[in-house]
Amino acid sequence: MIKQISTDKAPAAIGPYSQALDLGNMVFVSGQIPVDPQTGTMPESVEAQAVQALTNLKNVLAAAGLGMESVVKTVVFLQDLADFAVVNGIYESFFKAPFPARSCVAVAAIPKGAKLEIECIAVKA
């Protein structure tokens, strides 16, 4: 059975998709952009955007009853690969070893003009 996960502690979906889907033993979290769910605003710096996007991801996982330690795979979308080192440092502060498998790709544009977006797959122990 597939269960939809949603929380007001992360931005609402801006299209026909769910914040996350719980498949019983796995949770698939849609890409989180750095929008503050309380104000609807987005910070300007890539550092602050990385913190906000990862916080949103963490909050969606919490709504599914999981933490960041449950994440096994992430995909990071960057508008500019020159931001990789900065984002990588912030990313590392949200996870502990063993770190999730990860892909990081540069993209032409991200919704709402964000500098990054992060999605993940988590498993239930």
**Active-site residue numbers?**
104
Alpha-carbon distance values, 100 to 6, 29, 72, 103, 112 (Å): 23, 14, 4, 10, 27
CA angle 37, 42, 47 (to 5 degrees): 115
Distance CA 76, CA 91 (A): 10
Strand residues in 8-100 grouped as ranges (E): 20-22, 26-32, 71-78
Distance CA 99, CA 73 (A): 9
Residue for token pair 């801006």: 14
